[in-house]
Homo-oligomer: A and B are copies of this chain.
Amino acid sequence: AEKAPAKAALCQACHGPAGAKPIMDVYPKLNGQNKAYLVTILKSYRSGERSGGQSAVMTAQAKMLTDEDIEALSSYYASQP
């Protein structure tokens, strides 16, 4: 699996190592998820289009990410077992 991008530390705080152990069970696991889904949803949070769930927190996080970050983080988590 790929090395974690630096900004994965942001995600890890809630989704856990490799996104596999979220700190709360109402948060989603990210490991092995579809990359294109992660890209689409991160951009949806970043644009503020996504509501519901933890959208307030996720929108704040996603606004710190460039398109390159989103690509790197999505392929990192998609590649985690």
Q: Tell me the A residues contacting B by CB distance below 8 Å.
A: 22, 24-29, 32-37, 40-41, 44-45, 49-53, 55
Contacts and interface: CB of A to CB of B under 8 A. Distances in A.
Identical subunits present: 2
B22 A27 contact: no
Given A51-B49, A51-B52, A33 B28 contact: yes
Contact of A52 (B24, B29, B35, B45): B45
A51 to B, nearest CB: 5
Contact of A34 (B25, B45, B49): B25
Nearest to A24: B36
Contacts of A51: 49-52
14 contacts: A25-B34, A25-B37, A26-B34, A28-B37, A29-B32, A29-B33, A29-B34, A29-B37, A41-B53, A44-B53, A49-B51, A51-B52, A52-B52, A52-B55
